[in-house]
């Protein structure tokens, strides 16, 4: 691995996946991990009991209900690129976790149900992405089921989200008539093949070039005629993909596929690798001077966007999710918070959802875990303020971010400390219980008595 931060940053794509519940976000996550070789068998969200073992949904409540409750971070390599995937909850009851996680993403995949289009939670999460100028790639899922007309779906995206849509592939019908996808760039057809029961891997079939004998050979006559007509309309009437417009947030490339059938996932990964932005420069104030933190900068900088407790049931630990913005991080480094407090990072971790391993080094765009058994309330707030400084938010929004960070950290510590005092009062002396309450009050935490 190269030791040059700028070179390594150029290989990285850090992206989040957003959607309304049940649009197929977690299923797409599993397929992406399978494509990247991070897992060898994709779990099924719809499976029953012990058969439900998706990688990103590792909490007990997630396995029981088949939904995402907490954000997960997963890193994998594919085609000489390094992808940091941030899987986020879709249900609005857990949307605060999603809002925090989006601060660490350089781009996002918006998953839509082909039969439903844009749904309320998708719209809310899109607005958060827009406030942060996050480029959006649209993945229209479940084309193997009956779906809305493709033009109707694209019109809805354009009217509700005020974005141009540039389809990269065009579907040959949907549902039982679904025959595959036509690549609008190369004019090659990608036939759809249903996986056999228990078959692993992907529904990959050889591409068919226009003019060859096999081009559209396995497609019904009515579907072939419909595809030729609608694809021509799409080519002539819809915007062409423009990389600058995409990265500025004015245009979204659109992919029509099926995550459950693992059809089109490799094409989506190729599109992310080619078009999604690498880690971007961030505005910051360093020693009172306005500057720009670039990924190739020599010193290490970053921010904590989330704190997760009890990831390992065997240990009552807390892990701060640290997104690296610049420099080459190495195990054992001493980092400083925005307030100037230094701390050594002896056991940084790389994530695969709940699973973790020691990270010897990391580069801009990577997310590492910094474990702590306490004190993260103050560190987390400090990094939240640092994040506020480098994100370019207005003062009003920055104040809201700081207030929310302080409120979250205070509540978390108050709950932990309050529960500890209340739970031990029957066994502790009055002196010990009083000492704990005074300690909490000195730190500004409310105490349950």
Q: What is d(CA 28, CA 30) in angstroms, rounded to the nearest whole number? A: 5
Instruction: Specify the number of domains making up the chain.
Output: 3
Residue 304 lies in a domain: yes
CATH of the domain at 178: 3.40.50.300
Q: Do residues 119 and 268 both lie within one domain?
A: yes
Q: Do residues 187 and 269 both lie within one domain?
A: yes
Residue 174 lies in a domain: yes
Q: Do residues 270 and 298 both lie within one domain?
A: no
Q: Do residues 91 and 126 both lie within one domain?
A: yes
Q: What is d(CA 195, CA 332) in angstroms, rounded to the nearest whole number? A: 47
Residue 448 lies in a domain: no
Domain span including residue 288: 282-391
DSSP code per residue over 228-267? HHHHHHHHHHSPPP-HHHHHTTSEEEEEE-BTTTTBSHHH
Rg (CA), the chain: 24
DSSP label at residue 185: T
Residue 294 lies in a domain: yes
Q: Do residues 323 and 259 both lie within one domain?
A: no
Residue 192 lies in a domain: yes
Provide the whole-model pTM: 0.77
DSSP code per residue over 339-393? TS-EEE-SS-EEEETTEEEE-SEE-TT-EEEEEESS-HHHHHHHHHHHHHHHHT-
Main-chain phi, psi angles of 21, to 5 degrees:
-55, 140
Sites in the chain below the pLDDT cut of 50: 1, 40-59, 61-69, 353, 377, 380-429, 446-449
Q: Do residues 256 and 304 both lie within one domain?
A: no
* Residue 85 · residue 38 · CB < 8 Å: no
For 244-257, the pLDDT digits (tens) are: 999 999 999 999 99
Q: Do residues 62 and 119 both lie within one domain?
A: yes
Residue 437 lies in a domain: yes
Q: Do residues 24 and 106 both lie within one domain?
A: yes
* Residue 227 · residue 187 · CB < 8 Å: no
Q: Given CA atoms 354, 360, 365, 371 in this order, what sign does their dihedral have?
A: positive
Q: Do residues 132 and 79 both lie within one domain?
A: yes
In this prediction, residue 26 carries a pLDDT of 85
Residue 167 lies in a domain: yes
CB atoms within 10 A of CB 213: 6
* Residue 135 · residue 247 · CB < 8 Å: yes
Q: Do residues 367 and 415 both lie within one domain?
A: no
Domain edge (last residue) among 275, 291, 313: 275
Q: Do residues 135 and 210 both lie within one domain?
A: yes
For 142-181, the pLDDT digits (tens) are: 999 999 999 999 999 999 999 999 999 999 999 999 999 9
Residue 60 lies in a domain: yes
DSSP label at residue 194: P
Q: Do residues 135 and 113 both lie within one domain?
A: yes
């Amino acid at each position: 691995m190269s030791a040059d931060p700028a070179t390594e940053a150029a290989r990285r794509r850090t992206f989040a996946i957003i959607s309304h519940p049940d649009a197929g976000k977690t299923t797409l996550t599993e397929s992406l991990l399978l494509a990247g070789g991070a897992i060898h068998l994709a779990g099924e969200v719809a499976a029953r009991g012990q058969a439900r073992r998706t990688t990103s949904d590792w909490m007990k409540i997630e396995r029981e209900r088949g939904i995402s409750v907490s954000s997960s971070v997963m890193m994998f390599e594919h085609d000489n690129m390094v992808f940091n995937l941030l899987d986020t909850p879709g249900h609005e009851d857990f949307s605060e976790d999603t809002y925090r996680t989006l601060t660490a993403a350089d781009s996002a995949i918006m998953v839509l149900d082909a039969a439903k289009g844009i749904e309320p939670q998708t719209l809310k999460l899109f607005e958060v992405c827009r406030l942060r100028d996050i480029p959006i790639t649209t993945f229209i899922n479940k084309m193997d089921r009956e779906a809305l007309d493709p033009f109707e779906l694209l019109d809805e995206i354009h009217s509700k989200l005020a974005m141009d849509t540039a389809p990269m592939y065009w579907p040959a019908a949907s549902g039982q008539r679904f025959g595959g996808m036509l690549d609008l760039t190369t004019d090659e057809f990608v036939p759809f093949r249903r996986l056999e029961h228990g078959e692993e891997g992907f529904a990959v079939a050889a591409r068919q070039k226009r003019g060859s004998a096999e081009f559209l050979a396995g497609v019904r006559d009515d579907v072939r005629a419909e595809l030729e007509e609608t694809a021509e309309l799409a080519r002539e009437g819809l915007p062409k993909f423009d990389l600058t417009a995409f990265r500025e947030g004015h245009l979204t490339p659109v992919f029509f596929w099926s995550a459950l059938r693992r059809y089109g996932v490799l094409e989506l990964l190729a599109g992310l690798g080619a078009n999604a932005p690498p880690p971007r420069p961030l505005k910051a104030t360093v020693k009172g001077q306005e500057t720009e933190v670039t990924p190739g900068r020599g010193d290490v900088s970053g921010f904590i966007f989330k704190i997760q407790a009890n990831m390992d049931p065997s240990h009552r630990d807390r892990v701060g999710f640290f997104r690296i913005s610049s420099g080459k991080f190495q195990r054992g480094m001493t980092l400083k918070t925005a307030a100037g407090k230094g701390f050594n990072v002896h056991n940084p971790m790389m994530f695969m959802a709940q699973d973790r391993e020691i990270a010897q080094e990391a580069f801009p765009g990577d997310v590492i875990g910094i474990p702590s058994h306490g004190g993260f309330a103050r560190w987390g707030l400090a990094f939240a303020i640092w994040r506020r400084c480098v994100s370019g938010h207005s003062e009003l929004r920055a104040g809201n971010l700081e207030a929310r960070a302080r409120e979250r950290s205070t509540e978390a510590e108050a709950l932990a400390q309050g529960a500890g005092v209340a739970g031990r009062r029957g066994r502790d002396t009055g002196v010990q219980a009083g000492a704990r309450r005074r300690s909490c009050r000195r730190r500004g935490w409310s105490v349950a008595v």
